Chains A and B, each alone.
Chain A
Amino acid sequence: MIRFDRVSKRYPNGRDALREVSLQVEPGEFVFLTGRSGAGKSSILKLVGLLERPTRGTVTVNGQDTASLPARAIPAYRRRLGMVFQDHQLLMDRPVYDNVALPLVVADAPFRDIDKRVRAALDQVGLLEQVRALPSELSVGEQQRVGIARAVVGKPVVLIADEPTGNLDRGLALDVMRLFRRFQEVGVTVVVATHDLSLVEEFGQRSIHIDDGKVSA
């Protein structure tokens, strides 16, 4: 469950990215965040991932007010979250396998589990052949899918994805969306930021439209 109560975000440069945003995503719901470039979609997801903090208002995730989370509890919080980033955030000098395994390794998962789950996640995004490749040897779309595999490998409770299909062709984009839907079907809360409205229509899920830092009706 994700809940924003009159959340405002002003960046240090004075830019107001969000103005009094209130929204709610139910547990196990699949929601799209839509809006023009610069509307504030990424800002909302960053607040959920605690990569940014709100200037005003409260962000509640899984019943927890994120402002009251002590610093030492943040790693464990992030481990229950799957995040796909607009700019991938991969370790470019490490093989695909290591990148996807990282969330499990930092969670001290047993070795046998790691191997099984990394391969399963890579299989789901169609990259099982590339386990040993370096991200720099992959296409941008393939890198994006590595990021998706990394986000889902830890079986997160909440999955947030920022333009996960931005560099993928229609077929692959639909595959990724179906993968996310399968997660939703087993109870994961999924939030996908995109400006691909045709994708939203095709999947027919609820969408929250952001316009210039505000939720529009």
Chain B
Amino acid sequence: MISPATWTTRHLQALVAALGRLLRRPLGALLTTLVIAVALALPAGLWLLVQNARSATGDLATAVQVSAFLKVGTSVERAQELATTVRGQPGIATVTLITAEQGLKEFRERSDFGKALDALESNPLPHTLVIQPTTVQRDAAALERLRGTLAGWPEVEIVQADTEWAQRLAALLAVLRTLFLASAVLFGLGVLAVIGNTTRVEIAARLPEIAVTKLVGGSDAFIRRPFLYSGLFQGLLGGLLAVGLLAALLAALEAPVARLVSLYGGQFRLAGLAGEETLVLVLAGTLLGLVGAWVGAARQIARISPQP
């Protein structure tokens, strides 16, 4: 049996041979690596778009709230009881009671009708329950259920749920996410195809060498090894280059995005790839390179028969 030291040496040798082959055609290797990098950077860029869109619109998403206006004449105590009941329901983050008094005070402060309001004999405003659902409860069906429950209570006059924006946003994010998934699959296949084809071309160029190697007893696995390393290495380089491309893109976008955000008076900052996301991208490139080379090499090498 072959010793671990020999095994390691053999693999190192195949690796060095693969590197040597790549270096011997630097332009071809560079172009392949670039194609892989772009194919990896595109879905990764979409991923960043989804992540950033989500964090940029975080406030909008939490803007989902339900207001229940109680019938005029409901007592403050009853309103407080109702608020407590709602708080006890599942999927509720916060419930704020704005009593008629508070409402009137706020209205008075914010508007110029102060004098006119003084003329009123009674407070025309109802008590209002402002309800924030938790994130999980924010889908349309759950909100509809909440609205139904509230509307069923005798003390409740009308229920208003402002969900339209949240729904639009969620739908948009879902579209982006689907786009990301589809592009990841498509461009992943693209990387496989590019490396598979590069491998086939390389094998075709080394046909005589492969035939002689088989003649003296070289196994398919032995012949495959440098090609697999070559694919793996180009995938790895492509992944690293994709990380670099994305970093450059983000650097270029930083100033314009900051200007845009400041115009809206926001706090948002463009986020790049996190550490583990970078790792996933580089690993994906490496793995696709290896699998692509395998797909390109396996059958073709098996078909080559030594030519006596």
**Which single member of A85, A106, A111 contacts B217 (CB below 8 Å)?**
A106
Question: In the complex, which residues of chain A have a beta carbon less than 8 angstroms from the beta carbon of B305?
Answer: 51
Q: Which positions 14-64 of chain B face chain A at CB distance < 8 Å? A: none
Interface size on B, residues (CB 8 A): 24
- Distance between Cα atoms of A94 and B208 in the complex (Å): 12
Q: Which positions 59-99 of chain A face chain B at CB distance < 8 Å? A: 71-72, 75-79, 81, 83, 85, 89-92, 94
Q: Does A23 contact B (CB under 8 A)?
A: no
- Distance between Cα atoms of A90 and B209 in the complex (Å): 8
Contact present for A76 and B217 (CB under 8 Å): yes
Nearest-neighbor residue (CB-CB) of B5 within chain A: A110
Q: Does B306 contact A (CB under 8 A)?
A: yes
Question: In the complex, which residues of chain A have a beta carbon less than 8 angstroms from the beta carbon of B308?
Answer: 42, 46, 49, 51-52, 85, 89
Contact present for A89 and B9 (CB under 8 Å): no
Q: Does A103 contact B (CB under 8 A)?
A: yes
Nearest-neighbor residue (CB-CB) of A80 within chain B: B217
Q: How many residue pairs bridge A and B at CB < 8 Å?
A: 68
Contact present for A106 and B306 (CB under 8 Å): no
Q: Which positions 211-235 of chain B face chain A at CB distance < 8 Å? A: 211-220, 222
Question: In the complex, which residues of chain B have a beta carbon less than 8 angstroms from the beta carbon of A90?
Answer: 212
Q: Does A108 contact B (CB under 8 A)?
A: yes
Q: Does A107 contact B (CB under 8 A)?
A: yes
Q: Does A150 contact B (CB under 8 A)?
A: yes
Q: Which positions 290-308 of chain B face chain A at CB distance < 8 Å? A: 302, 305-306, 308
Q: Does B6 contact A (CB under 8 A)?
A: yes
Q: Does A102 contact B (CB under 8 A)?
A: yes
- Distance between Cα atoms of A92 and B208 in the complex (Å): 9
Contact present for A107 and B212 (CB under 8 Å): no
- Distance between Cα atoms of A42 and B307 in the complex (Å): 13
Contact present for B217 and A75 (CB under 8 Å): yes
A204 to chain B, nearest CB (A): 29
Q: Does B269 contact A (CB under 8 A)?
A: no
Given contacts A52-B308, A75-B219, contact A110 B3 (CB under 8 A): yes
Nearest-neighbor residue (CB-CB) of B223 within chain A: A106
Contact present for A91 and B209 (CB under 8 Å): yes
Contact present for B216 and A108 (CB under 8 Å): no
Contact present for B213 and A102 (CB under 8 Å): yes
Q: Does B7 contact A (CB under 8 A)?
A: yes
Secondary structure of the B side of the interface? helix
Question: In the complex, which residues of chain A have a beta carbon less than 8 angstroms from the beta carbon of B211?
Answer: 89
- Distance between Cα atoms of A81 and B308 in the complex (Å): 15
Interface centre among A49, A81, A107 (most CB of B within 10 A): A107
- Distance between Cα atoms of A46 and B208 in the complex (Å): 18
Question: In the complex, which residues of chain B have a beta carbon less than 8 angstroms from the beta carbon of A109?
Answer: 6
Nearest-neighbor residue (CB-CB) of A93 within chain B: B209
Given contacts A78-B215, A79-B217, contact A108 B6 (CB under 8 A): yes
Q: Does B105 contact A (CB under 8 A)?
A: no
Nearest-neighbor residue (CB-CB) of A82 within chain B: B216
Q: Does B10 contact A (CB under 8 A)?
A: yes
A76 to chain B, nearest CB (A): 7
A183 to chain B, nearest CB (A): 17
Question: In the complex, which residues of chain B have a beta carbon less than 8 angstroms from the beta carbon of A76?
Answer: 217, 219
Q: Does B116 contact A (CB under 8 A)?
A: no
- Distance between Cα atoms of A129 and B148 in the complex (Å): 97
- Distance between Cα atoms of A192 and B279 in the complex (Å): 59
Given contacts A46-B308, A49-B308, contact A103 B209 (CB under 8 A): no
Contact present for A103 and B216 (CB under 8 Å): yes
- Distance between Cα atoms of A72 and B222 in the complex (Å): 12
Contact present for A111 and B212 (CB under 8 Å): no
Question: In the complex, which residues of chain A have a beta carbon less than 8 angstroms from the beta carbon of B208?
Answer: 91-92
Q: Does B136 contact A (CB under 8 A)?
A: no
Q: Does B2 contact A (CB under 8 A)?
A: yes
Binding site for A on B (CB under 8 A): 2-3, 5-7, 9-10, 208-209, 211-220, 222, 302, 305-306, 308
Binding site for B on A (CB under 8 A): 42, 46, 49, 51-52, 71-72, 75-79, 81, 83, 85, 89-92, 94, 102-103, 106-111, 150, 154
Q: For the A-B complex with A91-B208, A94-B209 known, give 17 more contacts whose Cβ atoms are closer than 8 Å.
A: A42-B308, A49-B308, A51-B215, A51-B306, A52-B308, A75-B217, A75-B219, A77-B217, A79-B216, A85-B308, A90-B212, A106-B216, A108-B7, A108-B10, A110-B3, A110-B6, A154-B217
What are 30 A-B interface contacts by the 8 Å CB criterion?
A: A42-B308, A46-B308, A49-B215, A51-B215, A51-B305, A75-B217, A75-B218, A75-B219, A75-B222, A76-B217, A77-B217, A79-B216, A89-B211, A89-B306, A90-B212, A91-B209, A92-B208, A102-B212, A102-B213, A102-B218, A103-B217, A106-B216, A106-B218, A107-B217, A108-B6, A110-B5, A110-B6, A111-B6, A111-B9, A154-B217
Closest 10 CB pairs of A and B: A79-B217, A106-B218, A78-B217, A75-B219, A51-B308, A103-B216, A108-B2, A75-B217, A46-B308, A102-B216
